[in-house]
Amino acid sequence: MSTNFSTVSTQIRSINFGTIDINPKEFAAILQRYIVQGSQRYTLSLKDIQVYANPSWDIEGKETTSVIEIDGKTVANTLEGLLAVGTRFLDAVVFLSLPNNQKPSPEVHPIPKSITPPPQIATYNNHSEIAKCMFFSFFYLLTRARAHAITGYITTKVVPSFLKNVLSISRQPHEVADYLSSFDMNNLDPAWIRHIVLKDIGREALNRFGLGVAGYRLTAPFKLREPNRPGWETYKNAVEVAKSFATEPACWNFHPATRDPDLLTRYGNINKNLGNLILLVYTNDTIEELVSARTLYQKPPNEVAYTNFTTWTPDMAYKCADPIFKKST
């Protein structure tokens, strides 16, 4: 007896299993912006900006001429006017840079109106202090490749001696951060530092920067010492590339805060590879001497997963394309 499945096939085709057919390409296109945004380390949003509206009472420096209305509140449209009512410098700078229709709503001072006379508002409008704090921020980014934190640093030991002893900056890192902005400065993309004109920086500061910038500590041994561990010649090509990192001029494309992403593709994680290379080409005694001399902070850990240096070849020697300290013309 023959069978005919056409009837049952039709019935099966009509069954709705409740599954959803997702087109991968279209679905990815919808999610692209979310994925990109979620991957960003440096994100400053409108909700991070804290700007104060003019108080109803008189206060020194209150701006009454150049003002705008946002959400029924009067807010200064000048830097001095914003600083006078307690807005921090960087909040004010970002606020003023935005089109009026995109500015965040100003906050009302949390001071009871019934107090007579009204108390003074805490202000952050001393431009000499702003200048010191901004240089403090620049110094941290250039020499440590990170912004100082709002909280977490409470001892004077973390303040570089150059800032304390030469420039007489007495504030703690978290106090500097609090004076400059209401938001965490780690939310700002540090790439701004590469656009500061260094030739105009004070002589003492330039001399200090000449001692080194962030990102080069693990390259220093290859500039200062010849490899001396037995068998180091196996890694001769890698040593030559490491020397090029150390001997080329300090470069914005190499600095951790502004590093060219293509370097990861070309060399792998540079610091971890250099750490492993140091362990293979220098004796323990030499490494201890480098640590004692503060050339290295510590003996590098053995990061077994990072072996890119074994594939480095002489043609991969680093060439600085954007020097941090440009020659005068």
112 pLDDT band, cuts 50/70/90, is low
pLDDT at 156: 40
Rounded average pLDDT over 188-210: 88
Rounded average pLDDT over 304-313: 96
Mean pLDDT for all residues in the chain: 89
User: For 280, phi and psi rounded to 5 degrees?
Assistant: -90, -20
User: For 265, phi and psi rounded to 5 degrees?
Assistant: -65, -40
242 pLDDT band, cuts 50/70/90, is very high
* CA angle, residues 200, 188, 97, in degrees to nearest 5: 80
pLDDT at 5: 83
What percent of the chain clears pLDDT 70, i.e. is strictly above it?
Answer: 93
Rounded average pLDDT over 57-83: 94
158 pLDDT band, cuts 50/70/90, is low
For 257-279, the pLDDT digits (tens) are 999 999 999 999 999 999 999 99
Q: Cα–Cα distance between 297 and 54 in angstroms, integer?
A: 50
Closest CA relative to residue 102, chosen from 75, 125, 77, 70: 70
Backbone dihedral region of 189: left (phi > 0), alpha (psi from -120 to 50 degrees) or beta? beta
148 pLDDT higher than 80: no
- In this prediction the pTM is 0.83
Q: Which two tokens stand for residue 102?
A: 């995109």
pLDDT at 120: 76
The runs of H, that is alpha helices, within 52-210 are: 79-84, 89-97, 127-144, 161, 173-180, 203-209
**Domain segments of the chain as ranges:** 43-119, 127-209, 217-316
pLDDT at 152: 44
pLDDT at 56: 86
153 pLDDT band, cuts 50/70/90, is very low
* 67: helix, strand or coil: strand
> What's the burial of 2, exposed, middle or buried (CB within 10 Å: 0-12/13-18/19+)?
exposed
pLDDT at 166: 82
For 33-51, the pLDDT digits (tens) are 988 888 888 888 899 999 9
